[in-house]
Structures are given as structure tokens and as C-alpha cells.
Chain A
Amino acid sequence: MKNREQRDFFPGAWEMMILRTLKRQPPDGYALAQHMSGTSNDVLQIIEEGSLYPVLQRLLKEEVVKAEWSISSTHRTYQLTAKGAKHGEHEVSRFENMLEGITGVLAPGES
């Protein structure tokens, strides 16, 4: 039994990636998982795909995404809400700032 922390990189990582992915296209859960592991050079493959669902539920509850059952298939697709788009932008820029900082610190010293 894995415990919960192992399924997340750092708090908010999943949310951010999901929001970013959803910005481009509204996929269903399965597609979302495939897309994320595909575009991450399979780094995320070690993570259980199912881990996505609690996060999606959380985002649904916070009303940053909305879900619709498509009429043609039995899939449920997710879409960003207006609030979600803003939230995603904000999170990403925050992360990029942080990443920049971290990279700076981790980079070989110049002196």
C-alpha cells in the first residue's frame, strides 16, 4: 500500500499540470493521463494513473474545471472554467518563478 504523499511530487504539482493540459484541449480522464505521461518523457509513468482522479475531483469541487459527459461516447471530458484559466496562469507563473530560483541555486557556482 502506497501512502498518499508518494503519489504527488509536491503539493499542487498535479493541479498545475492538469490545468496546463486542459488549457489546450478538453480531454477525458484517460486521455489526460496518456497525454501527461507521454509529454513528460514517461517520467510520470512511475505514478499510478489513478492518482489523477482525486485531484480532478478536488478541481471539480473548487470549480476551476467542469466536466461534461459527451453525447457521442461514454467519456466525460474536462474543461477549464474562467476561474480555472486564471488560476492556472497564476499557478504556472508562480511555479516558473520558483523554478527559476531553484535552477539558479542548483546551477554550478560561478565564482
Chain B
Amino acid sequence: MSWLGGLFKRRRVYAELSEEIREHLQEKIEELLATGMSRKEAAAAARREFGNVALIEEDSREVWRWPSMEDLATDVRYGLRILPKRPTFTLTVVLTLAIGIGGNTAMFTLIRAVLLKPLEYRDPDRLVSLSLKDFHQNKRDGSFTLKRVDEMRASSKAFSAIGAFLKLPENISLSGRREPEALVGARVSANFLDILNVKPRLGRSFLEEEDAPGAPPVAMISGRLWRRVFQGDPQVVGKTATLNATPHIIIGVLPDNFAFPFVGTDIWMARPAEWSVIPPGARPHVTILNGFARLQPQVSLQQAQAELDVLNRQYVLANPDRLDAGPGVSIEVASLKDQFVANVRPTLWMLFGAVGFVLLIACANVAGLLLAQANSRLREFAVRAALGAAGDRLVRQLLVESLMLAVAGGSMGWLLAKYALYAVRHLTALQLPRVGEIRPDSMVLGYAVVLSIATGILFGLFPSLQVLRRDLTAELRESGAGAGGGSSARPRILGIHARGILVVGQISLSIVLLIGAMLLIKSFARLRSVDPGFHSANLLTMKITLPPARYDTGQKRNTFFGDLLERLASVPGVQNAAVALSLPTTKGWLGTNVSVEGQPVVDGAARFESITPGTFCSLGIPLRRGREFTARDNSPAALPVVIINESFAQRFWPAYPRGQDPVGQHLREGLDKTGWVEIVGIVADVHEEGLATDPVPEFYVPTVVHPPQTAYLVVRTQGDPELFVNAVRSQVLAIDQDQPVSDVRTMDEVLEATLGQRRLTTLLLGSFAAVALLLAVVGLYGVVAHSVAQRTQEVGIRRALGAQPGDILLLLLSQGLGLALAGTGIGLGAACALTRLMNNLLFHVSANDPATFVTIALLFMIVALLASVVPAWRALGADPMVALRYE
């Protein structure tokens, strides 16, 4: 029999059943009438003997049903009918849940894609990163020299292969096709794809011999570049592209989403140490390589670490005076994935914790709303119970309703999460690694579904339990009779204790979030107030990478920059311009050993910077002593001179600024045994690695000494720097029409970008905390308003008996303030324990900063007071006579 047929048949069965029961009663009544009863008595007696007609009819029908499925359908239908009748309630609940579930789903996707999922290479657990740690110098450096890498490769047995890549992405110009273009390039050891176990989508990977100096120039390109510039040409392998003015043969195309070692890399070249920034002779000796490796199948991380410890000791003994062989130097092996995501891990976990809190608060709020709703529906429940609905049916009805709300909230949350993730993928400020792997997949969908159902049950359970515990028949009897004294009015408040507990929980969670957000805001403010050491306003910056093929000598490079600055000087509106190896606040560590004449050799690692005359003036870095570089200093025939910063002066002349004047003294760079260089000036410290990092000793040389291959042009302009972009670019092209510029930004933008991740984190946690505060206050307001409403009559009586409004106000406020106080107390305790976890996200603020804790506690109490005063005031304002009759 078909399902439809079954339905029709059932309809007839039900009709017959009703008919039959009616007949039964009729017959009974007639029989009783025959015994002399009145019709009314007979009807009552017949019904009494028959039992609850509705219930029996319901039970009889139930026989014909698919057991619970159909009840469920009934409940859902009922829910669909009743929920839209309360639009404000329904909308509030669904929105609250959407925010909670959406936020959690989005964060879960991030956590899963970035932190949890194994890297998308074969056997990812075998992949490790190798880094150099120097505890003696405060972990300044994580990179190796080429010599180190070669030695590790030669003697290590723990790894099946060791690879290296240049620690920073390099600008590579692509010319000869359309406009010259600057691309993100990576320099990697030839074995990099073998280690990762990735096959190129086209062509081949590098050969071992292509890592040797002097090998023919070859390059691999990204799938993105392949499609964009080469139109997806399947014959691209073997073709030539002009990279850095040198024809390179394209040997392979990498798969889409391949993002090693950097997100957004378009060009890969072999010979990792051949960084154009570093003069060729110095390349084996500078620490610019990051190591990675694949462990041998049976070797554990600890065994590999032990082997590297031995190798490191041998290296340190053999090379005592090298920069990377100090007494505190060690090599650290870590999972490649951990290393990859180290910069965002604490942030992501903190945000995940925060959205978890928001969801809990949202659930508590919804539970509170449902309780209030259940309260006003007691009559409905009582009627339904009297009509024969069993307790478990009522509870099921409530649960079905809350699940429907949860599913609606979850669906909206899912959309919200998808939108948020789309935004995250395009927010470069977050500096997320593995950003290409972020996508909501079936696992995430499962998470959202489970979360919705779990929350639905969680917040639906509270009112259900409360309803179960109530004597619903008492409800019917009581209503209409009027609540007598204050005591009998009270029990009618459904789950007021449960709501109180919920509100205390909400308050404590939001206190934790508020304190966390406040700490981040404070950190951010302190960071913003750090003086970077230069004036960032009205500065235009851009990156210029001179192709080594065309600019193969230092003289050619220096001439280019000299010409450019000369041309810019005549551009109207340009105040002054300069060229520097790197931009303040964005520098990585580029250091070298330094010794000072007449002083014993100490651990003299100092940052190195190459600049043209006028750089300090252009950047607004104050000169403390001596003089700036002059044009004469920057000519090939000049005596070499150097300018140091104040940290440098303090390091070697601890009495600075008193005592012997460093100006006029001499220093020597690296292991260079030739000539001492005179210090001609001292400038103020600059936060070269970003505002959060303290300045370190640094020395500046004129570009004639180290003519950079890649340099930054800094132009101080009159008025908005953006307006000068084209004028400056045209001056570059006027000298060399194949020369691209890249990274065109104002210095303010550069500075902001270094704060981007922090700003975003602060903003996110701040908004979570704001939502939490709002929800908690609404929850508190709800409880207070409800209980005040229940006590309206009591207030009337008290006033009629002469109580002062002040006393009554105090009485009404005490409940709300009690809850707020309890929640705040618990929240402060929890925050005390939890904020410690975010210690490394803070800047110059203690995780248990007392001022923050006190401020937040006070702030919350004020808000709580307001939330309680409003309903209390309204109750007081009511006419006592009306209040007395209030029901």
C-alpha cells in the first residue's frame, strides 16, 4: 500500500474511531438514563467511566502511526506555526545563534586549515624545519650560512635530504613581454620539490647541478603566472623568460596552491644563497638561509636533534670566530608545519577561544529567552497537558522548537562563516600562512551541524526541565483566582534561579573577553605610541630591483641611483629623496660582526645598512652627533666612513653620551682584516624590525661601499605622496625603460601594514567582547525586568504601607547587582588564569594588568546598574493602586 493511500486510509480510520466512541458514550448515557439519572448526570457519569476521551482517542490513533516520526512532524508543524507568531523573539534568537555558530564555524575552518590539517605534501610528518638559535644574542637569528648548510648536508645521517631557501622573498623583474613587472621570487635549493615530494604540473624540477655556481639560468613558475602571463601555454617548458634582465629557461610549472616557501611566490630559482642584496664574495658567510629537511624513515625528531647537536659542536669548535658559531648557538629541529604557522598560532587559538565564549554566552542568552518565553506559555502548556499531552510530549515540543531555532541560526551562521572566510582569504593584513588551503569543506559543515544541534539541545534543555518540574495543573487552577500575597506570586516565575545562574555565567565569560580585549587594545595603543625613530608622514616609498645582468657592477648600480636622485631633485614638489637598502620597520635581520679599534673583540653583531647621502634627512631620523654622509663620501675615491646609531654607541662606549666620543673612532666590519673605517656621525635609534622590537646596534655605510641590487626609494613630498607616484615612476623609466618599480606605498602605509595583524586581532577580539557585553547585559536586563514585573504587586503593597521609594529601589536593584557582582567576581578570577595564555600577544602590558581588571570590573558594574535601574524605576513609577491590582 502506498504511503499516500496509507494516509487516506488512516483518515477514515480516525473518523470511524471518533464515531464509534461517540456511539459508545451515547449508549452508556441512554442506559444510565434508564436507571433514572438526569441527562446531565448521565453524561458526566458516562464520561467518568469512559476516561479521558481526547487522550484515549489520541492513543488509539497512535496505533496507526509510524511511531515518533509523525509526532516529530506534528511538533515541527506546530513550531512552524508558533515561531513566526513571535517574530521579535524568533529573530533575536536566530540572529544571536547565527553570530555564535557562524563565528565558531569560521574560526574552526581557520584553525583546521592552518593549524591542524597536515601540510598538503606527502608524508608531512617527516618534514622538519631547521633553524639556528642563538640564545646568547637573544635568538636574533634563525638562519644559516651556505657553508653551514653544505656541512650539514655532507655529514648528517638523520635526514634523507636537507634543503634550504633564501629567508626572504626576492623581487624579480620580468621584462621583454609587456610592461616590466616585479614578481615575488624564491630562491630554493635544487632538491626542494624532492623533499616536499611534489611533482611539477608541467616540466621538471631543478637538477642537482643547477645548484652549482655558474650553472645555466633556469626557473620554475607558478600555475598562476603560467596562466596570467603565458596564457596557460602547454608548450611553455623550454621557453625563455627575461628575469632580472637575464634570459632564463622555464623548466617547469608548479601546481596551483603551491605556496612554499612563501605565499604568493611566482618564480623559483635555484642557488638559494645568490641573493642580489649580498655581494658575491660574502654569500657563503652571511646567515640568509632557512633550512628544511625530510627525516629518514626510522629517525625520530629527538634523534635528529641529537645528531645536529653534535654537528653544531664540531662546527663551533672549527670556526670560533664566525658570526654563526657563538657559544650560545644551537640548531633546532621542529616540525615544518609548526614552524610555518608559528606566527599566527597563538592568535588563532585565542580567537577560537573567544568565539567559543561568545557562543556559550549566546546559548545562555537564548536559554534565558526561551525560559522567559516558556514562562509566558505556561497557560498554553497547562491547557495542552489537561487536554492529554504527556509531559514528555511537551518537553519534546520544546526541544523541537529550540532545535528548529538552532538549525535556522546554524544555517545563517554557515552563510556568515562563508562570507567571513571569503574576507579572511583576501585580508593580507592577517599574514596567514596556508591561506590557499582555507575552505569550508564537509568536515566544517559537519562541525557546524553538530554545533547547531548541540547548542539547540543545550539551550532547549533548560526550559524543558523547568516545565517538567512544574505542576502544570496548578497553573490552570491558579490563574484567574488572582495571586494573593507576595509568596504565591513568586512560584509562578519559571526557572528564575536557572536564569540567574545563566546570567552569572554569561557575565563571567564576557568579563574574561572584555579584559582580554582591553589588554590587546592597551597593547595596541602602547605600540602606536612608540616613536618609530623617523617621520613617516609625506613619504613615498617604492622598491627597485636592478637586474644583476644589466647592473652587474657596483658602479653601474650606484650610478643608476645617483642619476635617479639627481632627476628627482628637479621634480617640483619633491623635497628630498634617498635610496636605502631596506625600509625602517620592515627589516629582517641582516647583521655582521663588528669590532672597534682599541677594544677587545666582543660579541659584536650589528645590523648593517647601506644608504645614499640625505637618507637621514629624508626619513627625518635625527642626527645626534657628527655629520651626515656627503656626496663626497659616496664617490668611489672617498675615504670610507660610517655612521652608527645610539644603541651601537652604547654597546661599545657604555658611558655614551658621556665619556669618550665615538665620533672620530674607527670600526671594522666582519672578518675583513683590511682597513678601519672612521665613524663620522651618530644618529638616533630606529625601530627597524617593527615597533614591537627594540632597536639594536646598527651602522650605516654609503651605497658606494655596498651598492644594493634591490633598494628602496624614499621620497619626501610636499603634500599627498600618492600624487607623486607617476612622476617618480616616469623618472625611473626615463633612465631605464625596462626597470620596474614595485611595492609602491606611502611610509604611513608601510607602518600601518606592520601593525595590520595586531590591529585585526584587536578589532576581532574587541568586537567579540562587545557582542558578549551586549548579550550579557541583555540577559541581565531580562532577568531583572522579569523578576521586577513579578514583584509589581509586592512593590505596590510596600508603597501602600509607606516604604520609601529609595528603600524599594534598593530592594529591586539588589538582585541584579548581586548577579552582576557574582559574575564579575568569577570572571575576574577566570581572566586572571586565562589572560596569561595571551602573554606573547601583549606589548608592554602585564597579562594581569591591575588597572585593566579594575576598569573592566567597574565599567561592567555601571552597565549592570543601568540595566537594573531601568526596570526597577519603571516599577516604582507605577501607580501603587494599579500595582496592587496588578496580576
Residues of A within 8 A of B (CB): 1-4, 7, 28-30, 33, 48-51, 53-54, 56-58, 60-61, 67, 69, 74-76
Contacts and interface: CB of A to CB of B under 8 A. Distances in A.
Given A30-B28, A48-B56, A54 B62 contact: yes
Contacts, number: 75
Contact of B56 (A3, A30, A54, A58): A54
A30 B64 contact: no
Given A54-B63, A57-B60, A58-B63, A1 B20 contact: no
Interface in B53-85: 53, 55-57, 59-64
A60 B16 CA distance: 12
B453 interface: no
A67 B17 CA distance: 11
Contact of B51 (A29, A48, A60): A48
> Does more than half of chain A's interface fall in helix, strand or loop, or is it mixed?
helix
Interface of B: 13, 16-17, 19-21, 23-24, 27-28, 49-53, 55-57, 59-64, 385, 388, 390
B50 A61 contact: no
Contacts of A69: 16
Given A57-B17, A57-B63, A61-B63, A50 B51 contact: yes
Nearest to B58: A54
Contacts of A29: 20-21, 23-24
B522 to A, nearest CB: 61
A54 B60 contact: yes
A58 B67 CA distance: 13
Contact of A50 (B27, B52, B61, B63): B52
Given A54-B63, A58-B63, A61-B63, A48 B23 contact: no
Given A1-B385, A54-B60, A67-B16, 14 more contacts: A7-B51, A28-B24, A48-B52, A49-B49, A49-B51, A50-B50, A50-B51, A51-B56, A53-B17, A53-B20, A53-B56, A57-B17, A57-B61, A57-B64
Given A53-B21, A54-B59, A76-B16, A61 B51 contact: no
A98 B55 CA distance: 32
A97 to B, nearest CB: 28
Contacts of A49: 24, 28, 49-51
Contact of B23 (A54, A61, A74): A74
Contacts of B49: 48-49
- Which interface residue of B17, B19, B28, B390 has the most chain A CB atoms within 10 A? B17
A51 B52 contact: no
Given A1-B52, A48-B50, A48-B56, A33 B24 contact: yes
Contacts of A75: 23, 27
A61 B64 CA distance: 7
A3 B63 CA distance: 16
A28 B20 CA distance: 9
A74 to B, nearest CB: 6
B533 to A, nearest CB: 81
26 contacts: A1-B388, A1-B390, A3-B390, A28-B24, A29-B20, A29-B23, A29-B24, A30-B24, A33-B24, A48-B51, A49-B49, A50-B24, A50-B52, A51-B51, A51-B56, A53-B20, A53-B60, A54-B63, A57-B17, A57-B61, A57-B63, A61-B64, A67-B16, A74-B19, A76-B20, A76-B23
Contacts of A50: 21, 24, 50-53, 56
A56 B63 CA distance: 10
A53 B57 contact: yes
B56 A1 contact: no
**Which of B20, B23, B49, B53 has the most chain A CB within a 10 Å cutoff?**
B20
Contacts of A7: 51
Nearest to B28: A30
A76 B21 CA distance: 10
A45 B718 CA distance: 106
Contacts of B24: 28-30, 33, 49-50
A7 B23 CA distance: 22
Contacts of A54: 56, 59-60, 62-63
A56 B17 CA distance: 10
B732 to A, nearest CB: 90
A46 to B, nearest CB: 10
Most buried by A among B16, B56, B390: B56
Residue with the highest number of chain A CB atoms closer than 10 Å, among B16, B21, B59: B59
Contacts of B64: 57, 61
A23 B13 CA distance: 24
B23 A30 contact: yes
Contacts of A1: 52, 55, 385, 388, 390
A31 B388 CA distance: 26
A53 B23 CA distance: 12
A56 B16 CA distance: 12
Contacts of B13: 57, 60
Contacts of B16: 67, 69, 76
A2 B51 CA distance: 9
Contacts of B19: 74, 76
Contacts of A33: 24
A56 B21 CA distance: 12
